[in-house]
Chains A and B, each alone.
Chain A
Amino acid sequence: MSTNVEFAVQINSKSGADVLKSTLKELSGVDNVNLFPESGILVVKSSLPISVLQEKIESVGHKVVIKGYGGIEQDSLQAAVAIVGGECGYADTKLQGVVRFIQANESQCIIDGTVDGLSPGLHGLHVHELGDISDGCNSVGDHFTIINAPHGGPENDKMNRHTGDLGNITVDENGRTQFRFIDNVLKVWDIIGRTIVITENADDLGKGTNQQSLIDGNSGKKLGCGIIARSAGLFKNDKKICACDGVSVWDERNKPLAGPGRKYRL
């Protein structure tokens, strides 16, 4: 299942534009590349994690910012994003990441993310019911579920898992994971304002022998979390300059989200 991602890119020459287009088209998993050099908009249809596309665009020398994602006809409720760790999420460790949710159609939700700062191996990924980080990741409640079912894995049908059971993510030796998968139970409109959590241990998907396996898959401590927020769908974000302080889309890449660093105006 491919989705469209809309990027803002800085293009300085015709040859640069051609190199960018051909580089992306060569990637396996990329179906279509549309570049509008006048407006600096690039739309890529692919089945690759967004961060893989981003890195590829940067590797050929272009600054890039994600502007929107999803299908053209969709309203904004079908795209969501959670920042794990950092100033707006919460994490005990150096863990930091972004998880995006794209409702491709009535049944399929694409979960796309990048997380850094985890130990190599498997870590559980779950949506929890509350969007309350007043006590860090301790106040986000239990695994979110619409149906009163035991804990399970993402391959189970909706009667045999929590709605928010997304299984495990696999982290490489460098402490990084980039993932993209489809879930048929979770819907973006049900999880807005709730929290995504990454755990210390692997999730046994409810197949363990103890009682805890049917609660959280023995996935252990919550290492990091982020509130699931509304995000712009495709072509829904036409802003290039921040209305409140005149900071442009390009400056935002290196700016703190709030505080003294934001005080000057351009």
Chain B
Amino acid sequence: MKMVIKSSPFIFLTLMVAATTQEKQAIVVLNGPTVKGNITFVENGNRVIIRGKVIGLNKGLHGFHIHEKGDLSNGCVSTGSHFNPDKKNHGSQTDRERHVGDLGNIEANDQGEVIINITDERISLSRSKYNILGRAVVIHADVDDLGRGNETDSLTTGHAGARVACGIIGTL
């Protein structure tokens, strides 16, 4: 945010206070051929509130993850694995053993729409090790088994299948 410093010390002080209490925010715009939506991330203390609406999905559960890199220049390969700074196994959002990027599933209704409202304490917009800015949000075709399946990739990706939408997490 650009700050204009005025000569009055009073105005300067209030601007400083406003700056320190300001919540950090981020946004992802999904603009695939069929799947579209906006998702915002608002940091409040050590929590991040994720809210948004996504349309154009098939009815049912879809894996919802943050991948390590936001680099889409070479598709999924260049986004790397699920964001995993603590070197854990894949899990559900509420598991202790999870990737930081494991946000579980989102469920689309009959119209293919989903309203997202998730609070998470592991991702961050300020703590550098857990910062999600510049990484990718990916919505998958299939359900994330939350590491509980018997598939070979249950403990790495939750066997959530192909990607149906992706977007880069940008500063808001």
Q: Which A residues contact B (CB, under 8 angstroms)?
A: 65-66, 76, 80-81, 83, 87-88, 98, 129-134, 142, 145, 148, 192-195, 227-232, 237, 239-245, 247-249, 252-253, 255-260, 262-265
Contact = CB atoms under 8 A, between A and B. Distances in A.
B71 A81 contact: yes
B163 A130 contact: no
A131 B27 contact: yes
Contacts of B138: 244
A88 B168 contact: yes
B20 interface: no
Given A80-B134, A148-B5, A229-B69, A132 B29 contact: yes
A193 B162 contact: no
Contacts of A194: 170-171
A265 to B, nearest CB: 7
Interface stretch (B33-41, B43-51, B107-115, B116-124): B33-41
Interface string B58-90: 000000000011111111111011000000000
Chain A residues touching B, majority SS: loop
Nearest to A145: B2
Which 9 residue pairs of A and B lie closest in terms of their CB atoms, listed nearest first? A131-B170, A229-B70, A193-B133, A192-B134, A252-B75, A242-B76, A245-B162, A231-B71, A227-B168
A230 B2 contact: no
A252 B74 contact: yes
Interface string B147-172: 00000010011001111111111111
Nearest to B34: A259
Task: Determine the interface band of chain B, counting residues with CB < 8 A from chain A.
Answer: 35 or more
A243 B170 contact: no
Contacts of A142: 2
A134 B36 CA distance: 11
A132 B32 contact: no
B100 interface: no
B134 A230 contact: yes
Given A148-B3, A258-B163, A241 B77 contact: yes
B134 A193 contact: yes
Contacts of B76: 242-245, 247, 252, 262
Contact of A244 (B26, B31, B163): B163
